[in-house]
Amino acid sequence: MVPFGGYSMPVQYSDLSVGESHHWTRQKASLFDVSHMVQYHISGPGAEGLLMKLTPAALPALPVHQSTLSAFLHPGTGGIVDDTVITRLGPELFYVVTNAGCRDKDAKFLTESVEAWQAQGYPSVVLTPLGGQGLIALQGPQAAGILGGVLEDPTAINLKEFYFGQSRYLQLHLPSGKGSEKVLVSRGGYTGEDGFEISIPPTQTVEITELLLNSAGSERLRLAGLGARDSLRLEAGMCLYGHDLDDTTTPVEGGLSWVIGKDRRTEGGFNGAETIIPQLTPRSKGGKGVTRRRVGLVVEGAPAREGAEIVDTDGTSIGRVTSGCPSPTLKKNVAMGYVKDGKHKSGTELAVVVRGKRRKATVTKMPFVPSKYCKAGAPPA
C-alpha cells in the first residue's frame, strides 16, 4: 500500500505479482478500484459554454452519452491544468472525471472559473463534486462477458454495439435478487484493453465490486493495483499527469493535438488558444510549431526511469524521460519522454543515460502494444 492522491492505494494484491497481474489483464480481466479519481457534474444553461472556454473540445457535436478525452487549459500559456474525460449526459449536463493528484488544484481552477464566468453575466453553471461516489474499472478481453452476466435486464443493452467512448445508465442484478441503483457504465479505460468504467453510488460501491468478483470467479477476474495499472497504461502510450503532462505543457507539445476540435482550430475561443493554434502548424510549414515533443522510446539494456537524460548520437542533451518501465508484454524496456523538435520522428536513434551509461534508445510510435478498444466497424476480438 502506498499514499496516492490522498488515499492509501494498493500497488499489488497478494495473489499475483505486478507482472502476473499485467498479463492477467491482457489475457482475462482485472478490476481496478479507481474511486480516488475525482468525479463532477457540471450543469446548467452555461455548462457547455464554460467547458468550451476551459477546454479545446468540440462539445456542440458531442451526442448524449458520448465522452471525449480533453484537457483543462491555463489562460494565455495553454498549459495543461489537468487531463480529463468529459461525458455529455444531457443538453445541460456533463459528467467530468479528473485526476486525484490534482484534486485541490482542479477544484480551485473550476470554482474560480465558474465564478468568473457568472460574474461576466453568462448563463448559470452549477459545479457539483460527486463526493463518495465509487469508480471501478473492469478491464480485459473477458470484461464484456463478465458485465453482461450481472445485468438486471440483459436486453437493456447490446454490448456488441456499445462502443468505446459511449456510456449508459444500467442496473446490475444483486445477490439479494433486486436491481442495483442505476450505475453509469462507460466503455473505455486506462489499459489499452477493452473494458468499462463504472460510477457507483456510495452505498453500493462495495456490494457491486463484490458482485463482479464473485460472479466472474477468480479464474476470470482478479483485483489489480497501481503497479499493473502503470505498466499497462505506458504500453498503451497513455500519459500520467504530473509526469508526462504538467502546467507548462501544451496539448501540441504533449502529442495531444487530436483533442483540439476541428472547428476550434480556426475559431479558437478557449484558454490559451492564442498560444496553441500557432503551434499546430510546424515551423517547416511556416507556423510557430513547438520546440519539444513527447515521444515513445524502446531502450536497450537497463530500463530508463523518469528523469533520465535523453541525448542524441553526439551526446548532446535533447530531453528527459517522463515515464519508463520494462514492458511485460514486449519483454523490452519502454519509455516516454520529451525531445527536441526534429528528433521526434519514428526510427530516430538516440540514447538514454542510465546510471551514468548511455543506453541505445529508438524513437517508436505509440501505443507500444496495439489497443483493443471496441469500436464501430472494428472486427470482433
Strands 221-224 and 29-33 turn out to be parallel
List the binding residues for substrate. Answer: 197
- Residue 49 burial (CB count, 10 A): 17
β-strand 2-4 against 7-9: which pairing, if any? antiparallel
Name residues whose C-beta falls within 8 Å of residue 131's C-beta, 6 or more positions apart in sequence. Answer: none
Could you check whether the bond before residue 91 is cis, i.e. omega within 30 degrees of 0? no
Transcribe 17-30 into DSSP letters. -HHHHHHHHHHSEE
Task: Pick the closest to residue 85 from 9, 188, 220 (CA basis).
Answer: 188
Tell me the binding residues: 197
Residue owning grid cell 482542479: 106
User: With contact defined as beta carbons under 8 Å apart, do 51 and 86 qualify?
Assistant: yes
CB 251 within 8 A of CB 257: yes
Quick check: 175 and 228 in contact, CB under 8 A? no
Query: Cα dihedral sign for 301, 306, 308, 312?
Result: positive
HSE-up (13 A, CA, CB side) for residue 167: 27
